[in-house]
Amino acid sequence: MYLVSNSGPIEAFPHQDGYQRLTFQDLQLLKFKDLMAFEDPTLCSQLNAEGIAASIAGFCEKLALHGDAQVSIGWAWFCIKDCNKWLAPGGVSSNIMLVDASGYDLGVKPTSDVLSDWISSQAW
């Protein structure tokens, strides 16, 4: 676990660093709505150049409210010929920082990894 502070847990939110802090359980309760989704031929070309046989690619962002604060998750995606959607390499962009039950930050990389796994388990 990566701790941001040795002096104790970080408050839930809002926080001066722009992250909205919540537990994974809180994340699962949020009602995300589509903010935008679009195809991007340039991304598709870049993925093909990296050896990924993408037939289409694009970006997606979802938005939810956590109290009075907005939380956002965005990611790049691609489809191959079987029409399955996949997260593009590079992870997700988000203003979410997941915290443990004691309120300690999990860290940027662990949060991104969990969000990637969570997005992959959702219908989008």
Whether residue 90 lies inside any domain: the answer is yes
What is the CB-side half-sphere exposure of residue 42 using CA atoms within 13 A? 1
Please count the structural domains in the chain.
1
H-assigned helices in the chain: 24-29, 41-49, 108-121
Residue-wise pLDDT for 55-114, tens only, equals 999 999 999 999 899 999 999 999 998 778 999 998 899 999 999 999 999 999 999 999
Residue 10 lies in a domain: no
pLDDT value of position 4: 42
End-to-end CA distance of the chain: 30
Burial 111-120 (b: 16+ CB within 10 A, else e): bbebbbeebe
Report if residue 50 sits inside a domain: yes
pLDDT at 9 over 80: no
Instruction: Judge whether 99 lies within some domain.
Output: yes
In a domain, 1, yes or no: no
| pLDDT confidence of residue 123 | 83
For 15-61, the pLDDT digits (tens) are 688 999 999 999 999 999 999 999 999 999 999 999 999 999 999 99
- For residue 12, is pLDDT > 50? no
25 part of a folded domain: yes
The pLDDT, as a whole number, for residue 14 is 57
- For residue 70, give the CATH number of its domain: 3.10.450.610
Q: Which pLDDT score is estimated for 114?
A: 97
Q: Which domain holds residue 108?
A: 20-121
Query: Per the domain annotation, does 11 fall within a domain?
Result: no
Residue 64 lies in a domain: yes
- What is the structure's pLDDT at 124? 80
